[in-house]
Chains A and B, each alone.
Chain A
Amino acid sequence: MKRPAPRLITSSPPHLLMPLAALALVLLYDALTIPGFFHVEMRDGHLFGSLVDILNRGAPVLLLALGMTLVLSTGGVDLSVGAVMAITGAMAAGLIARPEGFVLAGLDLHGSAPAIVAVSLVAGLAAGLFNGALVAFADVQPIVATLILMVAGRGVAQLLTAGQIITFEHPGFQFLGSGFVAGLPFPVTVAVAMFLVTAALSRGTALGLFVEAVGDNPTASRFAGVNARMVKLLVYGFCGLCAGIAGLIGTADIKAADANNAGLYMELDAILAAAIGGTSLSGGRFYLSGTLVGALLLQTLTTTILTKGVPPVLTLVVKAAVVVAVCLLQSPKFRSVAGRRFRREAT
């Protein structure tokens, strides 16, 4: 019997059609109104240009959205990713600068970048597993379970940094935010690598199917032998890990940890990117390729608004409109109403 090819490759484009069309539209607008928008040049072996900037700025959103996509498809949501970003950022900055009053001041990693990254990521993973345990084993609603860390997480991050904005100089760690690999910014490399790993794990193995099964019908999936609790625990853990990586990139980029503002409102971008990409918000279906396009669309939109010199806060209003539009397009009720009207006009 021939096994169906992994859906990553064969995924037929209907879910991708809308976001891709939107992305093309925004890019077309940019091409027409912003001179030199598509200009990419090589400087000192690094690529520069608006397009590269979009990729670079979009990397943290994509990382968050990858974890969020999986969480959403189990029928859950993770509101704490922004706070987790702040926690891992504070952790890394604290381990590097080791300021007065840092909680883990006793832990000396001798400035080893891999060790700092590893310890910080463990914190992110732990935060994710905490969410996962609440959702999977205590049966708390995901919004509520992750709300706890959303509230307390920034407090924990401030506790780590003793309420200060920790600044640091550490060339090895800063590479994570501002380094270049093969001409491309390092965050892009990390995001692409994570995307490929996630795609391979979820679509190359049965894991993705388990995740969708749990989101579609937890009871049925349990009868089918899927360990629903474990799947949920791992998915939230993965989401925490992704948020941790995004937090490290953000901290390395600005060479500082700001517990109050790191990752603020990022959870919304992540949910939005996944939703634009066609991932069902009620669970049961996910498209990683859609999430990729969704994250790019969001960042292109933001960069366009910034480049046009429109007040940056307008992005908030635009995002509000996008959220409603995406929700309406996903709503079966709206589709049936709109469909009926369309058909009536056609006849």
Chain B
Amino acid sequence: MRRPPSQPSPSASRKGKEPLRFLNRSTFPFAATVLVFVLLYVAASLHYTGFSRPQVFLNLLADNAFVGVAAVGLTFVILTGGIDLSVGSAVGCGSIIIATLVEKQHVHPVIAILLVLAMGTTVGSGMGALIRYFDLPPFLVTLAGLFLYRGIGLLVSMESVSIMHPLFARLSMAGVPLGDAGSLQLSAIVFLLVVAVGIYLSRHTTFGRVTYAIGGSEQSALLMGLPVGRTKMGVYALSGFCSALASVVYAVYTSAGNANAGTGLELDAIAAVVVGGTLLSGGTGYVAGTLVGVLIFGVIQTAITFQGTLSSWWTKIAAGTLLLLFILLQRAMHRRAR
């Protein structure tokens, strides 16, 4: 190297930083998430034959669609700094209600689905109202929601009810063929649509802006005259709607309703949101990150299935470890920012 050493040149150092310029406090966790996903996916593809087939990737979307749909709604709640623990049992409750209505009461599936969506939104708004008007801790109110959903679901039917209605059979088979790559199932399409709507809501509407503002500082948001109360109620209503939609996806996906479905799903959803780069203290994060977060857990689960010798509990341990790593990463960044 014959370059004169006396010219470290500011331009060179700036050039070195340029490609990473987009990394700041809010994008870094997201970038880390994407990196982790890519690494995991590539590693699994190299390690297991057949993992890299496009259909495996499409199944990642379809198999985790109900977790993902619930996680998108939860992202908004967490962005305000709140939490919704009721999403898991909402899936169980919604699915058993649909199944019972369709099979036992012979209600048309479309009406049953609409009823469940309305119920989810109503219960969500109710929990939001308690949080808005009485300043109750979201964690406890939604805990009550968890009990309520699970209790109602089990009262409706303790046993799993399978859905025989032809419309459900057609829905669970429906999909968009993608040539050689396989086909994109309906549940995956719903998931991607919900993510798209979520991204639009969070980045391009007043509702989304206020959601971020509340998470940043509720006091400041109030002083700026933003509709804090209404938005707070709105995010819980949205989360209630999303978890009801997740129960519909679940019912279609499994062609059954089960009051015990979705036990612990709230934890998977929270983990996906956090690993997706959303700060649990609120104010920072992306709906797109949640999509990647869900996919990360999907890859881990699929890899464990491919391995064959590892048991399913490793999924839980892996989920906990990833959660720990991301939370510590967030804390480290938060400290440096201060």
List chain A positions with a Cβ less than 8 A from chain B: 77, 134, 138-141, 143-145, 147-156, 158-159, 162-163, 259, 268, 271, 275, 281-282, 311, 313-321, 323-324, 327-328, 331-334, 337
Contact = CB atoms under 8 A, between A and B. Distances in A.
A152 B321 contact: yes
Contacts of B323: 147-148, 151-152
A313 B155 contact: yes
Given A148-B320, A152-B316, A320 B327 contact: no
Contacts of A155: 313-317, 319-320
Interface residues of B, number: 46
B36 interface: no
A144 B134 CA distance: 24
B143 A138 contact: no
A152 B137 CA distance: 25
A152 B319 contact: yes
Tell me whether chain B's interface is mostly helix, strand or loop, or mixed: helix
Query: By CB atoms of chain A within 10 A, which of B139, B143, B335 has the most?
Result: B143
Nearest to B319: A151
A291 to B, nearest CB: 16
B313 A163 contact: yes
B313 A327 contact: no
A220 B137 CA distance: 24
Contacts of A143: 83, 139, 280
Interface of B: 83, 130, 133-137, 139-141, 143-148, 150-152, 154-155, 158, 264, 267-268, 270-271, 274, 280-281, 311-317, 319-321, 323-324, 327-328, 331, 335
Given A141-B281, A155-B314, 9 more contacts: A77-B139, A134-B327, A147-B323, A155-B313, A159-B313, A317-B152, A323-B140, A324-B130, A328-B136
Contacts of B147: 268, 316-317, 319-320, 323
Tell me whether chain A's interface is mostly helix, strand or loop, or mixed: helix
B320 A139 contact: no
Given A148-B327, A163-B311, A317 B267 contact: no
Contacts of A150: 267
Given A138-B328, A163-B311, A314 B274 contact: no
Contacts, number: 135
A66 to B, nearest CB: 19
Given A139-B331, A152-B319, A333-B133, A316 B151 contact: yes
Contacts of A134: 324, 327
Contacts of B141: 323-324, 327
Contacts of A159: 313-314, 317
B154 A313 contact: yes
Contacts of B328: 138, 140
Query: By CB atoms of chain B within 10 A, which of A156, A320, A337 has the most?
Result: A320
A152 B320 contact: yes
Contact of A316 (B148, B270, B281): B148
Contacts of B271: 147, 151
B98 to A, nearest CB: 19
B139 A323 contact: no
B331 A332 contact: no
Contacts of A331: 134-136
24 contacts: A134-B327, A140-B331, A143-B139, A144-B274, A144-B280, A145-B327, A148-B327, A151-B320, A152-B320, A152-B324, A154-B316, A155-B315, A159-B314, A268-B147, A271-B140, A317-B151, A317-B152, A319-B144, A319-B151, A321-B144, A324-B136, A327-B140, A331-B136, A337-B134
Nearest to B154: A313
A231 B117 CA distance: 46
B145 A320 contact: yes
A156 B148 CA distance: 29
A162 B311 CA distance: 9
B151 A158 contact: no
Contacts of A337: 134
Contacts of B136: 324, 327-328, 331
A170 B184 CA distance: 55
A314 B151 contact: yes
A268 B86 CA distance: 13
Given A77-B139, A140-B331, A148-B323, A328 B154 contact: no
Contacts of A315: 151
Contacts of B150: 313, 316
